[in-house]
């Protein structure tokens, strides 16, 4: 759970805020500019991955919820529309 919270925090932090923190650490002499750049790159990549993980998890949750509620997905609705159009064409061609 702690890892999930950490990923969420990284997803929320902006690149500018991370850069500000790293600039401050460089000013204080606690890290070099190279280390700061590498850290910013790492944070940005982890943030992107955390965002993707969160989106995937939310999609999985919503899909599961729709399935439990027996609500058709967009794909299922498109398949039904396609079948209906096919049937309409078949009826028109016979009539």
What's the predicted TM-score (pTM) here? 0.53
Number of separate domains in the chain: 1
DSSP string, 22-71: HHHHHHTTSS-HHHHHHHHHHHHHHHHHHHHHHHHHHHHHHHHHHHHTTP
pLDDT above 70 (res 49): yes
Q: Which domain holds residue 83?
A: 2-94
Percent of the chain with pLDDT over 70: 85
Query: Taking Cα atoms as reference points, which of 77, 79, 19 lies closest to residue 43?
Result: 19
CB atoms within 10 A of CB 47: 19
Q: What pLDDT shows up at residue 81?
A: 97
Sign of CA dihedral 23, 26, 28, 31: positive
- Of 51, 43, 50, 55, the C-alpha closest to 15 is 43
């Amino acid at each position: 759970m702690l890892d999930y919270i950490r990923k969420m925090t990284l997803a929320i932090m902006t690149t500018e805020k991370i850069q500000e923190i790293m600039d401050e650490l460089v000013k204080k002499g606690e890290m070099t500019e190279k280390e700061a750049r590498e850290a910013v790159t790492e944070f940005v990549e982890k943030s992107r991955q955390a965002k993707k993980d969160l989106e995937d998890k939310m999609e999985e949750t919503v899909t599961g919820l729709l399935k439990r509620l027996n609500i058709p997905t967009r794909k299922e609705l498109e398949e039904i529309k396609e079948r209906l159009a096919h049937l309409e064409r078949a009826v028109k061609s016979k009539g």
